Structure 1
């Protein structure tokens, strides 16, 4: 038995070396996307812990565990929030997208094992949009061309759920600045802002009225869209079906995040997040998209590791 006192006081992984985006390099690509670095992060442990490790035959244990062990212990000491809804029949989806189909294709009594068949859009449930989703000429920026860890980064919560926003309402730059001043936070380069409209909490459902959720939504004003781009974010997430695009009675409004400022600059858009109201102001966002050839996006199951 090996005992180790003070499991971890702080862990700061070294920043990843800059990658060559190759085909992704555009003259107007944001600094965060050009470098594609995983920002270092630091979490202080609140108290000393005693950890007992059971030695295994043939395994060499040292009093000082390796970085992977310490990082794993640190993450497990944090509060984890699942940010995706369950994939099930009746889940809301954009009206022009194919619906989610789940069929019990194999049954144990009949086939000797249990297995379901899925037919799913790239934009079902919690998902990420790649630049090619709105820009056919950016096929070289499909979801499979991005690094697998592109959506692993520190995140900042922007919670506007107390505004009780209505379909067509927009989060403005003044609202963003006021929130930052009130809460003492500001999104940084290479990070991911998470916008909570409170839409999932109020209107998510899977019955025959589920389409109201996607046919109505608030959005984000262009001045705030530009602000987030200028801050050098790598991605942005929201709890609505189209993030920056407001929707009124099924009619999408202006969406300059998709068309002008985010996607063309390699800033990915994460949509239909849930449980944002459970997050701390700052967290570590962890997700990875499926490696879909020439994919316009991908379903994801994101987690947030919260500091408190």
Structure 2
């Protein structure tokens, strides 16, 4: 039996499970809010073209309005100034959209501190327990933040001092991007950076370092609690938007049961 035939058999009999890591995309999907004077994305919106009526008697379809970075989405290198000469989302090689993934679970830390930052030592401790980060794979950072994803205010968790959401320290972001073999970072929050990352040096270090290194980001993931610490295969499927800085994406994980 061929390798692909074995995979299809395993999916059919449930020995390989497909886990959807994608947040539903609707007008209620939380979106990033930047302070003035910066411009913001539009939320997702459907505009009906026809629905089995005189505009189109046998068919239903819609126009959509959305930003590239709304909901579960893929960040391409060109999204950030440090990656301005890098790939747009249509240029990402398909072989990099199917890759191994590991899950680092910091949800217990975040439960007691929404501003929790992952440090290099946290990752090294994870490696001691679970083995090395995957060469050519993804680091998925579980914080439990997806439990808030149905409520914009709870998801952004902002007050007069700005948003309070977990993330990664500047030094850890640099180390992960420049000194480890992962190709991307996946998070459950609205972006790959912490809520307070505008005040870091450099600002928004996950964007700055990962995209500057030609690596990628995935955000607003869900169901990371259903994945093992290692052993999953990630399928990320952004739209190949020519010149696009990113795209809403359907993100799936394959795991052995």
TM range (shorter): 0.7 to 0.9
The SS at the match of 2:176 is: helix
The partner residue of 1:235 within 176, 184, 200 is: 184
TM-score, normalised to structure 1, is 0.71
Q: 1:99 to 1:193 in 2, by over 3 A?
A: same
Contact 1:165 1:218 in 2 (8 A): no
Report how far residue 167 of structure 1 moved: 3.9
Indicate the residue corresponding to 2:3 in structure 1: 67
Q: 1:66 to 1:136 in 2, by over 3 A?
A: same
Contact 1:106 1:115 in 2 (8 A): yes
Structure 2: which 5+ runs fail to align? 34-39
Answer 1 or 2: higher relative contact order, Cα 8 Å, separation at least 6: 2
Indicate the residue corresponding to 1:273 in structure 2: 221
Indicate the residue corresponding to 1:133 in structure 2: 79
Contact 1:152 1:287 in 2 (8 A): yes
Report how far residue 136 of structure 1 moved: 7.6
Indicate whether 1:169 and 2:116 are aligned.
Answer: yes
Structure 1's consecutive aligned runs of 4 or more residues displaced over 4 angstroms after TM superposition are none
Q: 1:205 to 1:213 in 2, by over 3 A?
A: farther
Report how far residue 226 of structure 1 moved: 3.0
Indicate the residue corresponding to 2:69 in structure 1: 123
Report how far residue 213 of structure 1 moved: 5.0
Report how far residue 144 of structure 1 moved: 1.1
Larger radius of gyration: 1
Indicate the residue corresponding to 1:151 in structure 2: 97
Distance 1:127 1:288 in 2: 9
Indicate the residue corresponding to 1:106 in structure 2: 50
Contact 1:200 1:240 in 2 (8 A): yes
TM-score, normalised to structure 2, is 0.84
The partner residue of 1:88 within 26, 31, 34 is: 26
The SS at the match of 1:179 is: helix
Q: How many residue pairs get matched?
A: 237
The 5-angstrom pairing of residues 281-300 of structure 1 reads 281-282=229-230, 283-300=232-249
Report how far residue 256 of structure 1 moved: 1.6
Report how far residue 104 of structure 1 moved: 2.6
Per-residue Cα deviation, 1:245-296 (whole angstroms, up to 9, x for no partner):
2215xx834322211x211111101111111111112201012221101110
Per-residue Cα deviation, 1:11-35 (whole angstroms, up to 9, x for no partner):
xxxxxxxxxxxxxxxxxxxxxxxxx
Structure 1: which 5+ runs fail to align? 1-64
Report how far residue 216 of structure 1 moved: 3.3
Distance 2:11 2:172 in 1: 32
